[in-house]
Structure 1
Amino acid sequence: MDEDLLSLSRDQLLDEVRKLRAGIREHRDSTGHELCWHHPALWGLLPERSDPQPVVPAWPQFMQGCIRYRQSLDRQLPQAPRSDLPFAPDGEPQA
């Protein structure tokens, strides 16, 4: 699957690593309501081109998953700052 790496020069490999690290950092640095979004740009960093279509749970099951995810943040990051900013329709937190 990653045979293309064998033909890359050292400089090309370093460029690839930098690109991947930037994508991982962007995803890692997501915060607030951004944590809930579908992130196809991250998958777009891979050389193979595909458009994976996720299986989307029905609303009740989806909301259960959201609640479990938020509960996991309480367990894993109990000291993280909290925000009460509402969600904005365009996806950007309201100030």
Structure 2
Amino acid sequence: MDDDLDAMTIESLREEVRRLRAGIRAHRDSSLHALCWHHPQLWDLLPEPTPAEIAVPEWPAFMRGCVRYRQSLDRQRPDAPRVDVEAE
């Protein structure tokens, strides 16, 4: 899957690392409701295409996942500021 790396020069590998780090930082630095959105731009950093079809949970299961994600933020980042901002 990553055979393309074998043909890259050191400089090409460095450029690739910089590009991937920039994408990871953009995702990491997202905040508020942007944490919950679909992020195909992150997946598009990979050389292979993103599958056209994705599976989406039904609403009840999806909302339970949102609650679990928010609970994980409370555990992992209890010091993060809390704000009362609605999604647009």
SS across alignment from 1:6: helix
- CA distance in 2 between counterparts of 1:78 and 1:52 reads 36
- How far the C-alpha of 1:74 sits from its partner, in A, is 0.9
SS class of match (2:42):
helix
Amino acid at match of 2:4: D
TM-score (norm 1): 0.86
Cα displacement (A) at 1:54 = 2.3
Runs of 4+ more than 6 Å apart: none
Cα offset, 1:72, TM superposition: 1.1
| Structure 2 equivalent of residue 87 of structure 1 | 87
Gaps of 5+ in 2: none
Aligned length: 88
Partner residue of 1:17? 17
| TM-score in terms of structure 2 length | 0.93
Query: Which whole-Å CA distance do the structure 2 matches of 1:37 and 1:54 have between them?
Result: 14
2:58 aligned residue: 58
Q: 1:66 is aligned with what amino acid?
A: C
Q: Kindly, what percent of the aligned residue pairs are identical? A: 60
Structure 1 residue aligned with 2:38: 38
